[in-house]
Amino acid sequence: MECKIILMGFGSVGQGIANVIAMKKDIIKDNYDAELKLVAVADSSSSAICQEGLDEQLLIDTKKNKGKLSNYPEYGSDISGIDVLDAVEYDCLIECTPTNKETGEPAYSLTMKAFEARKDVVTSNKGHLALRFKDVIDAAEKNNVQFRYEATVGGAMPIINCAKDTLSSCKIESITGILNGTTNYILSRMTAEGSSYEDILKESQELGIAETDPTADVEGEDAACKTVILANSLLGVDATYTDVEVIGISNITSEAIELAKDAGYLIKLIGEVTPTTLKVSPRLVKKGSAYDVSGTLNMATIKTDLADEITVVGKGAGSIETASAMITDLISILKLKK
């Protein structure tokens, strides 16, 4: 069986997808009898399109050395955005364009168009799901296609599939966790070094851990999107972004962190999801507790009716790590077709 893939978005995660496909396509063919083929790869400005399949390494090299995918030898194209979905025949859309939590675009339109064409979709995009989760899920069901979004929450940390597939006998009662790696990194370093928020943020930006405009991370917006996705997908709550109460970490002082530390506590940005509460805020957590994970790690404690509390910890971001969650989603789809 062939699995023809359109990859939309070719930043860090998109390039991770190309890398992981190059690494794993042989083993996936052996184990799941599916031949992965990138038939189109696009970013916001151009694309490379070839029905016979593109070369993963050449895609990465083209983007790195020649800036635009349209410079891909022979198959470079000026087609971009949603038009790419009409330019080639495909089975699955892997969608990792940047999250926009005001409009949900381009993810929403891309996903809906793929669904209407009866194509499966794997996404890492939080925007459309934080705004219109139910619309998207309903459209997938209506068109009888697969839709998977593990990578939207916690990068490599398995939480959505973990709760759905490995805790399927249980009712999920609540989820509490550290859902943003950048803020966890900043708070961890403030705690370890006693430095100010501003100094550590600046260094994090230099290291590429925080973005030039850090608002989405430090003001809790990214974590808030994730709480909405968890609430909808695992607790069956019909919620949207504006339902989340959000307080970020930009007002946390080194003095506050010191005071907490002296009392055996840490300050962490915690996302909380219950049937009635959606909240992201800095909280005191006990040193040595499940919430005591540092650096860019994410964690989540899933409270269930039968299995009590299950905690998962893993890398919240990273090109290959996030791509691994998306390829796991793709494999789950391939298993259903086998």
Q: Which residues are catalytic?
A: 226
Which residue blocks in 67-174 are alpha helix, DSSP H?
Answer: 84-87, 107-116, 127-142, 160-165
Which residue among 6, 18, 41, 157 contacts a copy of itself (CB under 8 A)?
157
Closest to 319 in 3D by CA, of 5, 16, 6: 16
Q: Which of 118, 142, 287, 337 binds a copy of itself (CB under 8 A)?
A: 287
What DSSP character marks residue 213? S
* Binders in 296-315 for a copy of itself, by CB under 8 A: 304, 306-315
Q: Is 117 in the site for a copy of itself (CB under 8 A)?
A: no
The token duo for 305 is: 């009716």
Contacts 24+ apart (CB under 8 A), 207-212: 209/181, 209/182, 209/185, 209/296, 210/182, 210/185, 210/186, 211/182
Judged by CB under 8 A, the residue of 92, 234, 244, 323 near a copy of itself is: 323
Q: Which position among 18, 20, 49, 228 is part of the footprint of a copy of itself (CB under 8 A)?
A: 20
- Per-residue binding string, a copy of itself, 228-267, x by CB under 8 A, is ----------------------------------------
137 scored as a contact of a copy of itself (CB under 8 A): no
Please report the beta strands in 30-162, taking only residues with DSSP state E, as ranges in sequence order: 35-42, 47-49, 76-77, 92-95, 120-123, 147-148
The residue whose two tokens read 């850090």 is 214
Nearer to a copy of itself, 159 or 210 (CB): 159
First CA to last CA distance, the chain: 8
51 near a copy of itself, judged by CB under 8 A: no
Q: Where do contacts with a copy of itself occur on this chain (CB under 8 A)?
A: 20, 23-24, 150, 156-158, 161-162, 165-170, 287-288, 290, 292-293, 304, 306-315, 318, 320-321, 323-325, 327-328, 330-332
